[in-house]
Structure 1
């Protein structure tokens, strides 16, 4: 997993006292504020005692979180727990605590609650900073657009973690891998990945049903490719049956047999979005995830179900399994 080192700078602010500290005891947080003093420009402090601004960080998994107060002082946070800025704020003056840099050792999104206000006659020590894993590669790509393809830790359902491969390049990036077969496997031969196991091409793993359904609820498209060949693929149209079926844990083409081949194909784009690959006529009633697609009644169609991982194209022989990957975005 890639990582970045955060940059920290000391900006110019109205009142600067020492350096930021982490831990209430280390900061000496008695009820009083910082002593008032003049700034370096020779002007007098107009507000009397300066109030301390701080709070608590929860959920942080790695390094890289940087907080900032009033657009000036930066405070790098290394772990969960209390923090206090060294920059004091005069009584009656506004304060604003923001996240300047998100964690990049383990990629997370941290948010601030109670970070804006006006200093009163007491220290402000109840700013809450909460950090959480992002739910998908799409969200990772949004927050960290320079991330390359690779395996990242995320939490689609917000309760449990999963380690999944992200395609950050194809068609704008942000695709989360949910299932990967090999040339000797179909969905029945795969095993559900635990939170510590990678869901990556060639791993013969699939995302657990609860996590997949949570991810599908946040996604609008399904993308199926021959492993390692992004352009040898199909991608569903936005919010059509393929993704709405997966949100229920069903085959992506469940219940579509009455639409006819042309309408079935119209739910997809890509080089293999043709009737010979995606058209089918059988009623599908008993197949659930990790099965993905069953072109039943079409010997030359796409079969990613049971022990099959093939999309046999017109005129091709023999009909044998190939590695296939399924992504959501």
Structure 2
């Protein structure tokens, strides 16, 4: 009996990161067979931190395999307030994932979440990242039904599993709430609410905000935790579709 030939592999089972100096990245001829950073991690081996273009993904993504168990996808980098609003927070410089420049693929986050088969996912927030990694934030679990682009502050059943630096959930800091998009953002005037992506309550004073509208200039670049870490500095927002 003649054995049937094995089907031709049209994707890369052992991908390497795309060259960092070629951003914005063009779609490679052969995509990674894995569909996400987490799936690549689960295949074993020692994948490197960097940018990959996975099967089924419309954009390249930046993976972190070095912190908190690995398999993390970078959703957003906010280096400064420049250019941020309710439109750009969903997608910005999508083909140029970066830890050092403003960037977002938040609108794709729920699709990555749905690649997991568990009942929850993990998200990670790092602030003041210009001073080092894993500062003034942490890792949380959230139910799989929660959305990264929710426009209401009602996703409160989140569980902190790892804390970066010393802080507590409080009104003048990070709230026990998944970051949400504030559709009532107004910037530039007295009494206005400039929060774009925040954990704060709608009637709060803005503490626990990851990202403010570019028209508001009181902070560097958003109010975070008082008094321990009043300014966010550079923000890194990550996700992993299966819990740690």
Could you say whether these structures have the same fold, taking a TM-score greater than 0.5 normalized by the shorter chain as the test?
Answer: yes
1:267 aligned to 2:159? Answer: yes
Partners in 1 of 2:91 and 2:208 — Cα distance?
Answer: 23
CA contact (8 A) 1:163 1:199 kept: yes
**Residue in structure 2 matching 1:205, options 99, 103, 106:** 103
- Indicate the structure with greater helix content: 1
Alignment of 1:159-174 (within 5 A): 160-174=57-71
Which entry has the higher C-alpha Rg, 1 or 2?
1
CA contact (8 A) 1:152 1:163 kept: yes
- Indicate the structure with greater strand content: 1
Partners in 2 of 1:206 and 1:132 — Cα distance?
Answer: 21
The 3-state SS of whatever aligns with 2:112 is: helix
Task: Please report how far the alpha carbon of residue 206 of structure 1 lies from its aligned counterpart in structure 2 after TM superposition.
Answer: 0.9
Any unmatched runs of 5+ in structure 1?
1-49, 63-101, 108-130, 257-263
Alignment match, 1:307: 213
**Residue in structure 2 matching 1:234, options 138, 141, 145:** 138
CA contact (8 A) 2:14 2:32 kept: no
CA contact (8 A) 2:99 2:236 kept: yes
Any unmatched runs of 5+ in structure 2?
19-30, 185-195, 215-220
**Could you list the per-position Cα deviations for residues 140-165 of structure 1 after superposition, in whole angstroms to 9, with x for gaps in the alignment?**
1111441232222224xx2x432221
CA contact (8 A) 2:222 2:231 kept: yes
Q: Which has the higher contact order (CA 8 A, sep 6+)?
A: 2
1:293 aligned to 2:198? Answer: yes
Partners in 1 of 2:239 and 2:74 — Cα distance?
Answer: 7
Residues 103/266 of structure 1: CA separation in 2 closer, same or farther (3 Å cut)? closer
The 3-state SS of whatever aligns with 2:60 is: strand
CA contact (8 A) 2:97 2:103 kept: yes
TM-score normalised over the length of structure 2:
0.63
TM-score normalised over the length of structure 1:
0.49
Partners in 2 of 1:132 and 1:52 — Cα distance?
Answer: 28
Task: Please report how far the alpha carbon of residue 184 of structure 1 lies from its aligned counterpart in structure 2 after TM superposition.
Answer: 3.3
